[in-house]
Structure formats: structure tokens, C-alpha cells
Structure 1
Amino acid sequence: MAVRIPAADPAALVRIRLLAAAAVLVAVAALRFYESPAVATWLYVLAWYPTLLILDQVVVLRGGESLLAQPRALVTMLWWSAVIWFLFEAINFRLQDWYYVFLPASLPERWIGITLSLATVVPAVLLPERLLDRLGVWQQLRARPIPLRAQDPRVVFWVGWGTLAAALALPRYFHPLTWVAVWLVAEPVLYRTDPAHSLLVDLAAGRWGRIARLMAAGLFAGALWEAFNFVARGQWIYTVPFLEHIKLFEMPPIGFLGFPFFALEVWSVYHLLAPRTSNRTVLASAAFAILVLVGMDHWTVGSVTPRLADLPGISQEVRDRLAQAGWTDIFRLARAPTAELAYRARITPAEAQAARDVARLSTLRGIGTIHAAALIAGGIPSVAALGQADADSVWRIAHRGPRPTPAEVRVWIRAAQRETGGVSGDAGR
């Protein structure tokens, strides 16, 4: 006689998933607090996926369908999410509004980590919007319809290309246009091919609910993006023109206004791409992603996680003694008392001080060991010396290719000044 196993209670399964996701977030926070190197580097990924699961399961509690119940749609969403942000990474090759620091040194690990991180972008916007919709938020939000003439979508399309061209031609002044230009290009195409998902159709009908929910979701997602990035070791740093000094997390406060508009771009571009998923489009987008990853390594990645073996300015014997004593984490080495280093590694106080100084320099605001070696060779052996230097001189010393940029050097100098209390007249330029 066959024994039938009763199906799991859906509500109980949701609660289990919520508890598991919350437990992962607590564990990640604890491991970050105790400076686990792997968690520090991968925190953004480790924090976002349980957060997305929580959002998804709360949608289920409100009567919606889980993405987990649609594995094909979920994989499609994650893939196009990464591709969509790779587009903005490609645009940033010209804008140079942000760069990445302390990413994994291994190329496969770095590329996988970047792709997994970017795969969270679309669900981070769409899931909060779905939740707001299930909660009934702004479902009746209406305003006067905006009539669209037959030629209007075409005009919007070309205005989008014009604004994108302006942002690329004069990024110092027009870079904010990026966060509306892509929507202006994509939305008219969506209007023609998929009216059910078109936000222009909503505007024409005077229905503002979905647009408002998306913009609120974008602001919510943006706050989490910046919060998770701020506490991660592998992170991005903004160097937005005219806005380098005042930051909320890593973002200039006014920059948060871009997230609601970015959410509109995410919605329109995703709903353009997802129905066109095929072997050909996936292969083409994979080739595009690889090209962008190569470009990111060249133009956007400022540093990788520093390793003891690459630490400049000290002898191999000192490195070996530090390794034997367990001082392999450069971030921990940078905070260690000199006397403890000397005692435990059996090196002289002068050698311990030199190792600590170069570790501090390498771990300061994403400098890394390659740039630290250039600084040391140029006569800037410590954080204190960096804080007293002027930005132009430091850039000439450290510049060996696309990185560091002058803005990146100013980030270093301001960090050195904060740490040492030094003042430099050129750091803020």
C-alpha cells in the first residue's frame, strides 16, 4: 500500500523561507562585524539575495505568485538584469562616475561576483513594486490623461537618443541625463510592441499608479543598494563631478533622485528584452557582457583585494614571517599594534612599522597594492605622506593607465586627511 506524503502547507513554507532568509542576513551581518574576509568581499551579493527572497515571500503572503514558482522566468529576469546594468557599465566607461575597489583578485571569481551582483538589479525594483501593488498602493492614482499623437512616441525616441548623446559628449555637465535617456529610448519601442507594459500608455490614460509604485520601488532599492555597498569591502565609489565631497553612504544625496527614474528604465528595458529571450539573444548578450567585463577590468576596477604576497615596500623575509605568524589579512595587519606585530612575527620594530604603514596605505579607500607600490616608489610611503601631498603630484606618480583618475586620487587624499588630520589645498579640486 502506497503511503501518501501530505503536501507542505504553503503558508508554513513561506514562513520557513522568511526565517531562513532572515537568518542568513543575521549571519552575514555577524560575519562582517567579525571581519570575515570572504563575507567582507561578497557582502553585497550575500545580503541582496536573502533580501529578494524576503520581498518575494511577502508578496506571496499578500496573495501574489512567487518568482520561485516560475524558475524559467526567474532565470530570465536575473540574466537580463545583469545585461541591463552592463549597459550602464558600458556608458560609465565614458562618464567615469563610479569605480570599483577591492574586488576578488581571481578573474573568474571577480567576473562571477560582478554578474551575480548585477543580476539583483531588476528584481530589486520589480519585487517592491509588486508588493506595493498587492498592498493596493496607488491603484487608483489618476490624473488628467496626456493625449499622445501618432508621432509623439517617435519624438520621445529621438529625444532619448539626443539626451544620451549629450551625456556622452559632455559627461561632466550632462551625466544626470543618463538616468532618463535610456527610458526615453526604450519606452516608445515598448509602447509600440507591448502596450500592456508601456508606461506611455499609462500616461496617455492618466493612470499614474504603476509609475508611482515603480519610482517608490526605485528609491527603496537605491537606499538598499547604497547601504549594502557602504558596509561591503568590495564596493563602488562615486566620483560624480561637482559632488565629490558630500555623501550619504557613498552617494551624493542629490543622486538618490536618480533611482526613481532608473526604476522606469529598468521596467521598460526589461519588458523589451524578456519576451525576446532566445538562444541567439542570450549568446549575443553574453558576448556583450564579456566585452563589458573586459572593459570594466581596464577602465572601472580600481583595485583588487590586497594580498600579503603583493604587499610592496617590505622584504620577502618579512612577508614570510608575517605569514607564519598568521598576519595574512592585510586589513587586520593595517590595524595591528606595531609592538604586537614585531613580537608575534619576530621582526624588528622598524620592520613592523614599515609593514603596518604599507598595509594602511594599501587598504585606504581602495588604493590596493599596485597603486601603493607606485606611491611608495614616488616618495609617498605612508598615509600621512599622502595626506600632505597635492592631487596633481600624486596623480602623476600613480598614473599608469586608465586608473587612477584624478578624481580617484582626490578620494585617496581626502581619506588620508581624515585619518591623519592633514590638510591639502588641492585635494578638493
Structure 2
Amino acid sequence: MFKKYGIIGLILIVFVEINFFLKIEPFARWYFPIVWVGYILLVDAIIYHISKESYLMNKKKQIFLMLILSALIWWMFEYINFRLGNWDYINIKLFISDFEKLLFGWISFSTVIPAVFETVHLLTTVHLFDALKLKNKHMITKRLLYGMICAGVISFILIMAFPKYLFPSIWVSFYLILDPINCLHKQPSIIKHLKDRKLSIPIALFVGGILCGLLWEFWNFWALPKWIYTFPWGGPKIFEMPILGYLGYAPFAWELYAMYYFVRNLLMKKKEEII
């Protein structure tokens, strides 16, 4: 039987879609956490219906870590954006107080990692990319891993120094730093999957990041409080995002994956992969 919280999630999504036109407050200005909580509930219920296992039903500690870490990570990106100046928010005066605005931010940002991971978990649950493998094994040396870490650190420094030209690299630099560290500490990593010729998780993250990106931009487009982009280039737009900008969502998912397992290793000392 389909879990009731999945039905609640679907109702929340439908309500938000209708309310984009009705604009009933306070739900109109709180669309982001409402629709993404709905999405997370719905996808988790679908996963459980297929496999009888899901984050909300079987991995509550991990989902709690995702929520907290997700909010902290996106606040970090917000501070970095003070230097990059890539996006801005409009109609935030609709919030009745600074406290409401802050609460909205914390709850909204906490949904980012769960949304991406649930999407990726769904893709792996239906075994969409299981047959894809690299033909040959590749040697991953410590020199290569340390080289990637150095490249990530250097790229982040250069981004901060020349944000106008190098800002897209922000969606890669943390991956370059943290995924090799995870690999060195025998934690789940994209590098380890590639070393073992396994492409299912890397591609599922790649696709899941873009799918979530499309939904973020689609739901943002119709909203009252919303973000807009101030890229110096990027070409024609789909919703508010320049087309080239969607390419950033794929490595962003890899970056979230690396960040999550880096922090989880510090706090929980677990080695199993939860996607």
C-alpha cells in the first residue's frame, strides 16, 4: 500500500501549483519549502513502494543530517555569492519580519540535499543506469588524489579573485577538494565508483542534479518571492536560468555528494553508501 505521507506530498505539490495563480497568503510566499517538502515526501514514498526501503522509513539519522547539512551548505553558498554576485532575490518584502525571512531561508535551504538524494535514490532504485560500466579499470594514485585537492583549492582561490570570469567553477571546486579526501579515507566517493568501473551512481547524480535544477527553476519562475540571475553571460533563458547555467546542476550534485560523505565521516564514522 502506498504510504500516506506520499499522498500528502502530492497534495502539497498540487496545492502550490494552484496557488501560484490564487496567491493565497501566507502559502504563496512560503511556496518553496511547501513544494519541496511535498516533493521529498512523494519521491520517498514511491521509493518505499518499489523497494520497501527509503530514507524516511529506514534512515532517519541520515535524513536528519541531510537537512542540517543542506541548510548550512547553502548558507555558505549565499555568503560566497556576496563575492560572486550571481543571483539575487526579489519580492522578499512580502515577508512580515526578518525572523520570518530567516526561518524561510533555513527551512528552504534544508531541502536541497534531501531533494537531490531522493531523486538519485529513485533513479538507482529503478536500476536505470546499472548496466553502464567503464570498459577498463583505472589506477587512482595518491598523487592524482592530492593533485585534485590542490586543483580544488587553487580554483576556489581564483574564483574569489576573478569572480566575473571564473564563477562557474564554484560548482566544481568543493568536489575537487572533498571527493579525493573521501576516497583516501575509504568513504563513498565518485572517484571510487569510477575506479571500480561503476557508472550508476555518478550518472544518477549527474541526471538527478539536472532534474532537480529544472524543478527548482520551474517552480521559482511562477513564485512571488524568487531568485533571479545576474550572470555576465549565459545566453537565452529557460525560466529564470540561462541555458548554460543548467550545466552547473550536474557537478553541483557531485559536490553535495562529496560534502555529505565528508561531514558524515567526521560525525558518524560510517562507510556504507546510502544512495
TM-score (norm 2): 0.91
Distance 2:13 2:169 in 1: 35
Query: Shift of the alpha carbon at 1:52?
Result: 0.7
Aligned to 1:203: 194
Query: Shift of the alpha carbon at 1:64?
Result: 4.6
Matched, 1:57 2:49: no
Distance 1:170 1:268 in 2: 25
Aligned to 1:187: 179
One-letter amino acid of the structure 2 residue matched with residue 58 of structure 1: I
Matched, 1:19 2:7: yes
1:358-407 deviation per Cα after TM superposition (whole angstroms, max 9, x unaligned): xxxxxxxxxxxxxxxxxxxxxxxxxxxxxxxxxxxxxxxxxxxxxxxxxx
Structure 2, gaps ≥5 residues long: 269-275
One-letter amino acid of the structure 2 residue matched with residue 169 of structure 1: A
Matched, 1:169 2:161: yes
What is the total number of aligned residue pairs between the two structures?
Answer: 264
Contact 2:8 2:42 in 1 (8 A): no
Distance 2:133 2:124 in 1: 15
Aligned to 1:126: 117
Contact 1:25 1:50 in 2 (8 A): yes
* Farther-moved stretch of structure 1 (34-43 vs 184-193): 34-43
From 62, 65, 73, the equivalent of 1:76 is 65
Query: Shift of the alpha carbon at 1:24?
Result: 2.0
Contact 1:167 1:178 in 2 (8 A): yes
Matched, 1:140 2:128: no
Aligned partner of residue 140 in structure 1, secondary structure = coil
Query: Structure 2 matches for 1:29-428, cutoff 5 A?
Result: 29-69=17-57, 70-103=59-92, 104-143=95-134, 144-195=136-187, 197-243=188-234, 246-277=236-267
Query: Shift of the alpha carbon at 1:105?
Result: 4.0
One-letter amino acid of the structure 2 residue matched with residue 173 of structure 1: Y
Which entry has the higher C-alpha Rg, 1 or 2? 1
Distance 1:194 1:223 in 2: 33
Query: Shift of the alpha carbon at 1:29?
Result: 2.3
- Identity percentage of aligned residues: 28
Query: Shift of the alpha carbon at 1:100?
Result: 1.3
Which runs of structure 1 show a deviation greater than 4 angstroms over 4 or more consecutive aligned residues? none
Aligned partner of residue 253 in structure 2, secondary structure = helix
Query: Shift of the alpha carbon at 1:140?
Result: 2.8
Contact 1:80 1:274 in 2 (8 A): no
Contact 1:76 1:277 in 2 (8 A): no
Contact 1:129 1:217 in 2 (8 A): yes
Distance 1:147 1:71 in 2: 36
Distance 2:212 2:32 in 1: 13
TM-score (norm 1): 0.59
Query: Shift of the alpha carbon at 1:240?
Result: 0.7
Aligned to 1:28: 16
Aligned partner of residue 37 in structure 1, secondary structure = coil
Contact 1:84 1:270 in 2 (8 A): no
Q: How big is the alpha-carbon RMSD for the aligned residues of Structure 1 and Structure 2?
A: 1.6
Aligned partner of residue 154 in structure 1, secondary structure = helix
One-letter amino acid of the structure 2 residue matched with residue 117 of structure 1: S
One-letter amino acid of the structure 2 residue matched with residue 260 of structure 1: A
Distance 1:33 1:236 in 2: 18
Distance 2:62 2:176 in 1: 26
Contact 2:116 2:209 in 1 (8 A): yes
Structure 1, gaps ≥5 residues long: 1-10, 279-429
Query: Shift of the alpha carbon at 1:32?
Result: 2.7
Aligned partner of residue 206 in structure 1, secondary structure = coil
Aligned partner of residue 38 in structure 1, secondary structure = coil
Contact 2:6 2:44 in 1 (8 A): no
Distance 1:93 1:53 in 2: 33
Contact 2:8 2:41 in 1 (8 A): no
Query: Shift of the alpha carbon at 1:157?
Result: 0.1
Query: Shift of the alpha carbon at 1:185?
Result: 0.7
Distance 1:188 1:198 in 2: 7
